[in-house]
Amino acid sequence: MTSAIEHLTVEDFRSIRGHVSLSLDAPVVLIHGQNGTGKTSLMAAIELALTGDVPSMSRVEPDYLKYLPHQAVGTGSVRLRTRMAGGIGETSLKVTSAGVEGAPALGGRLARFYGERCYLSQATLGRLLEIYEAPDGKSGPSALQRFVKDLLGLDRLDALTDGLRTAGNVLRLREPVPQYAAAKDEIPRLRDRLRADRAGVAASEADLELAKEQLRLFIAGIDEGLTILLDDRERLAQRLKEQSEEPSLLQQARLRRRIAVAMEEWGVLSGADAMIALTVVQAEHRANDSALRAWRDGVGGELENVLGHIGRALGIAENPADVTYQHACRVASARVDAEVARCTEVLNGHDIDHTRLEQIASDIRSGQARLALLDRSVGESVGVAQQLARALTQVVPHVHEDDCPVCGRNFREVSSVPLAAHLSRRIAALTQEAGRLEAVAKDRSTTASALLQAERERDAVSGRLVEDGVRDALKERRATLSEARLALESRMVEAAEGDRLRSKAQASEKRLAEFAGRDNAVSTLREIASDLAVQAGEAPLGTDDAIGDALSQLASTVAQREASLAERQESRRKATLALVSLRAIDAKLKSAREALETQQRAFDRLEKAKDEADRRIELAKGLIRTVNESRSRIVRKVFDERLNAVWRELFIRLAPEEPFVPAFAMPSRIGTVMEAKLETIYRQGRKGGNPKAMLSAGNLNTAALTLFLALNLSVEPDLPWLLIDDPVQNMDDVHISQFAALLRTLKRQHGRRVVLAVHDRALFEYLALELSPTFVGDRLIKVELGRSMHGETTCSWEPVIYEEDNAIAA
Amino acid sequence: MMATTPAEQVVRLLAEAGYRPQKMPIKVGGIDFDFTAALLGGNHSTDLVLVVEMGTGLDKRARQKVEGVARALDVMGSRRPLTTVVVGSRPSAEDLSGMARVCRVLPVEHLLDEADLRNRLAVLLPLRLPDPAADDVLAGGDAVPETHDEMSAALVAASLRGEAAVARLLHSLVAEPFAEAWHDRGGSS
């Protein structure tokens, strides 16, 4: 069933005054009316009822809604009945100055399809080329873009290209996918680091090999069998620690020291006189001992008596048996000599003191006699002479001339000597006397003190005098001691003999003792040596083995063993150290390897991720290419095979003589923005300029009209309708006839339902003729619009049906 | 079969388009008219097409015959559209406009190649439109490219929800491989 607009009722809408009702249910509806009778209003009413909008008005008047009702009434209405796939639809709109009430018949895409593809208003016809050439807004898609997109579903292609835009350049991915950019930056850095780390690991491995080789040498020095544990560091360390040479070394050292001691002992025991037999020593000692004893019984006894006597007399505690006899004799002699000398001195001093005492007594007597003499010579005048001399001296200054200052008499009376001379002579005599007296006094004092001294000496000497009994005892003791001294003197030779005998006896006794111990020591030493040999792990000493040789053999064995132990210990020490450093390298290497592995893993992951991301980006790029190719192909197809082809077909029909055919130039670059350019193509294929420059006004109109039809015909018609408002402007008769033929073709061949409004009566009639029904059921509706006397719109419509034509004989 | 004259060429082209050539003379309104050829439209078409040779020195006569047919149709009250195809030399402007007043005139002049001739006779010929249904690209309405991998398919599917959805999907797809890689790295970078 063909979609159709069946019936229209309009009341007080725009320039239509009153009520207009007409059927539109025919393949062709021709509307005629003089200018101003409401053709365009009728068309607008249909558009409003279908789409809810009148774009030809809204484009120029934003407030157009309030001009929709007839200006004289203020309220209008439009009712439209449609027949669509969904059934019969009735739309009723009420238009007031406040706006439109009611819902339009079409919505969304269909409404737009109607507006752009089905209905060609006069206003649109004039602007059609411009509308399709330039984008109709600053942003937003142009009508052509819309057309192409509607036709092709390019929205999705655009969504794809726009959405994938960032894949085209990795820089654009930086913001939306920071991980990608980060990975891109990070990968070379990580690669460098990995290289460096790998080199580090290799170096550590070389270090490890070196350290292992060293360790192998060291442990081979300890125990060749340990080398199998080279790679089992734990056990190796344990073994190194468990097995220590220290105890063995200590043992060997102890052994060595003991052997040394034994050797030293042996050295002593095996000295020069070691071979003398014990019996010889014993005989010798016995001889010595009896000689000493014989001496003691003879002269030795006397000597001891003398010494004992002296010792008792002088209180000498020393026993001559403890020291040598000679020494004892010398000590006793010295002591006796000292005692004799002391006795002699005491006795001699007594005699001297006695004589001195008599001398002193004589001195004292003479001293006392002199003292008495001097006392008399001095008397008491000593002081008087002195005082007088001083007094006279004081008078001297008062002596003038010869007058005596004392008595006042002239001295000349008594003497011819001047008074002054006399006085000084007197003073001198007095002073001389005084000096003499002074010397005598001094002499007296000296004598008195000498006397005193002599008296003191007398007391001291008399005190020293020994009593008589004591003096006798001393004399007795001196005599006795002198005799003992003589006796001692005569025995000095015997004393020397005694000393010699005694020391000989003592020496032989000592040697006897020594010899007795030596045998014991040798057998003990043999035991020790044997024991040492056993301890050293050697065979014990036989009774005939030479101790010295055995010991030095043992000593060299122990020394060797010790040296080898020390060597092993050193090796062990070094091995332990080497093992420590090896294990340190192990640990370092292990962690380095682990770190490397971790890093490598991270790097691999990252690189893999990056590769995957790159792959995806490449896929996206590929998709962009595919989309672009697709778009390019489609758009090219649309332009070349569809739009331009159809447009050309139509234009040529209407202007068969026009050499320039309008066309859309193929967008040079198929991007998201469709920059379509208009051009003309010369029939023979060359390109011409823009149609507006190349075509006449009439053909330009034709170009616009055919473009509209081409747009309609290029797509599957959602609505098979064509409503054209007075399209035949500036067209000559030829074009009109061609247009009529084209409309017929569209109607007949392509099933379009045509509503056409014209103002020209002749044209109306001509078109009615050309579009007459040509078969039974075909129909044409002729509508006549006019105005009544009162300005009311009149409308009469009449269906024309098919009538058989018999004008031409078959 | 090549046509030797423009008239034959025209007749053959129209005949191929469904027009029926008429025997001469043709009787219109009971009057005989003789033309080089005359054809009637078929298939719900009532067109009468006259083929007139001109430039033969009888142009005036030919014009009068065309006008005669037109008048005869008028007298009969016929609504048949009348078209005259003029072959041969281009007639004078007077004759041409005279004929154009009573019918559609399509001057063809000399022998032409077929494409040119088609252009000249276009209004009489069926309008050949590309068949939308025959076009694979346009048939489905969704002109999206074919994809051979899952990711592209997902992106194409996302294009239904618009540009932002495609971008979101692309970015999440590109970011996806890193989720694990970066996650494992932790804060080491």
Domain boundaries, chain B: 6-124, 142-185
Rounded distance, CA A227 to CA A43, Å?
111
Shortest Cα distance, chain B CAs vs residue A45, angstroms: 31
Q: Tell me the average pLDDT across A329-346.
A: 87
Residue B55's Cβ-count burial label (10 Å; 0-12, 13-18, 19+) is middle
Judged by CB atoms closer than 8 Å, whether chains meet at A808 and B162 is answered as no
DSSP at B134: G
**A33 in any annotated domain:** no
The answer to whether residues A711 and A137 touch, using CB atoms and an 8 Å cutoff, is no
Q: Based on the domain organization, do A572 and A425 belong to the same domain?
A: no
Among B residues 47-106, those touching chain A with beta carbons less than 8 Å apart: 48, 72-73, 76-81, 83, 100-101, 103-106
Q: Based on the domain organization, do A399 and A450 belong to the same domain?
A: yes
Mean pLDDT of chain A: 83
Q: Based on the domain organization, do A272 and A402 belong to the same domain?
A: no
Which residue's entry shows tokens 């039809």?
A709
Q: Which tokens sit at A433? A: 């006397």
The answer to whether residues A110 and A714 touch, using CB atoms and an 8 Å cutoff, is no
Shortest Cα distance, chain A CAs vs residue B9, angstroms: 18
Q: Based on the domain organization, do A462 and A370 belong to the same domain?
A: yes
Residues A622-639 have pLDDT tens digits of 888 888 777 777 777 777
Is the predicted pLDDT of residue A604 greater than 50, yes or no? yes
The answer to whether residues A649 and B125 touch, using CB atoms and an 8 Å cutoff, is no
The reported pLDDT for the residue numbered A148 is: 66
Please check whether residue B177 touches A, CB under 8 A: yes
DSSP at A400: B
Mean pLDDT of successive 10-residue segments in chain B (189 residues)? 76 91 89 91 84 81 90 89 88 85 84 79 83 52 70 85 88 85 50
Q: Based on the domain organization, do A365 and A465 belong to the same domain?
A: yes
Peptide bond between residue A55 and the one before it cis (omega within 30 degrees of 0): no
Phi, psi of A454 (to 5 degrees): -65, -35
The reported pLDDT for the residue numbered B15 is: 92
The answer to whether residues B159 and A156 touch, using CB atoms and an 8 Å cutoff, is yes
Residues of A in contact with B45 (CB under 8 A): 744, 748, 774
Show the 3-state SS of A291-320. HHHHHHHCHHHHHHHHHHHHHHHHCCCCCC
In which domain, by residue range, is A466 found?
A: 323-490
Q: Which of A309-313, A437-441, A469-473, B184-188 has the lowest mean pLDDT?
A: B184-188
Residue where a domain stops, chosen among A586, A605, A631: A586
Shortest Cα distance, chain B CAs vs residue A130, angstroms: 25
Q: Based on the domain organization, do A331 and A459 belong to the same domain?
A: yes
Is the predicted pLDDT of residue A674 greater than 60, yes or no? no
Which residues, including other chains, have CB under 8 Å from residue A438's CB and lie 6 or more apart?
A382
Please check whether residue B117 touches A, CB under 8 A: no
> Collapsing DSSP states into helix, strand and coil, what is residue A414?
coil
Judged by CB atoms closer than 8 Å, whether chains meet at B76 and A713 is answered as no
Q: Based on the domain organization, do A358 and A459 belong to the same domain?
A: yes
Pairing of strands A99-101, A687-688: unpaired
Residues A711-756 have pLDDT tens digits of 888 777 788 999 998 887 767 777 888 888 888 888 888 889 999 9
Nearest in space to A758 (alpha carbons), one of A16, A30, A10, A23: A30
Write out the H or E segment, with its range, that includes residue A612.
helix A547-636
Please check whether residue A670 touches B, CB under 8 A: no
Residue where a domain stops, chosen among A546, A569, A586: A586
Is the predicted pLDDT of residue A514 greater than 80, yes or no? no
**A381 in any annotated domain:** yes
Residues A195-249 have pLDDT tens digits of 988 998 898 889 889 888 988 888 888 888 888 888 888 888 888 888 788 888 8
Is the predicted pLDDT of residue A41 greater than 60, yes or no? yes
Please check whether residue B1 touches A, CB under 8 A: no
Most confidently predicted of A63-67, A284-288, B47-51? B47-51
Residues B3-26 have pLDDT tens digits of 678 888 899 999 998 999 999 889
Cβ of A668: how many Cβ atoms within 10 Å? 8
Q: Based on the domain organization, do A269 and A331 belong to the same domain?
A: no
**Domain B6-124, what architecture?**
3-Layer(aba) Sandwich (3.40)
Q: Based on the domain organization, do A472 and A339 belong to the same domain?
A: yes
Name which of A149, A150, A160 to mutate to probe chain B: the one with the most chain B Cβ atoms within 10 A of its Cβ. A160
Is the predicted pLDDT of residue A361 greater than 80, yes or no? yes
Judged by CB atoms closer than 8 Å, whether chains meet at A176 and B189 is answered as no
Question: For chain A, how many structural domains are there in total?
Answer: 2
The reported pLDDT for the residue numbered A70 is: 87
Q: Based on the domain organization, do A277 and A327 belong to the same domain?
A: no
Among A residues 703-742, those touching chain B with beta carbons less than 8 Å apart: 713-716, 733-734, 737-738, 740-742
Q: Based on the domain organization, do A278 and A331 belong to the same domain?
A: no
The reported pLDDT for the residue numbered A274 is: 56
How are strands ordered across the β-sheet holding A687-688?
Answer: A660-665, A677-682, A687-688
Pairing of strands A75-84, A87-96: antiparallel
Q: Give the CATH number for residue A433.
A: 1.10.287
Which residues, including other chains, have CB under 8 Å from residue A565's CB and lie 6 or more apart?
A245, A248, A249, A252
Please check whether residue A170 touches B, CB under 8 A: no
Residues A364-397 have pLDDT tens digits of 888 888 888 887 776 655 567 778 888 888 888 8
Among A residues 26-65, those touching chain B with beta carbons less than 8 Å apart: none
Higher-confidence position of A10 and B79: A10
The angle that helices A178-222 and A547-636 make with each other, rounded to 10 degrees, is: 160
Is the predicted pLDDT of residue A340 greater than 80, yes or no? yes
Q: Which of A518-522, A572-576, B88-92 has the lowest mean pLDDT?
A: A518-522
Residue where a domain stops, chosen among A542, A571, A586: A586
The answer to whether residues A762 and A32 touch, using CB atoms and an 8 Å cutoff, is no
**B138 to each of A157, A181, B60, B130, B144, how far by Cα in Å?**
13, 40, 53, 11, 10
Residues of A in contact with B40 (CB under 8 A): 808
**A225 in any annotated domain:** yes
Q: Tell me the average pLDDT across A38-51.
A: 91
Q: From B120, which residue of chain A is nearest by alpha-carbon distance?
A: A656
Q: Based on the domain organization, do A331 and A393 belong to the same domain?
A: yes
For residue A401, name the pLDDT band (cuts at 50, 70, 90).
confident
What ranges in A644-729 are assigned the alpha helix state H? Answer: 644-654, 691-694, 697-714
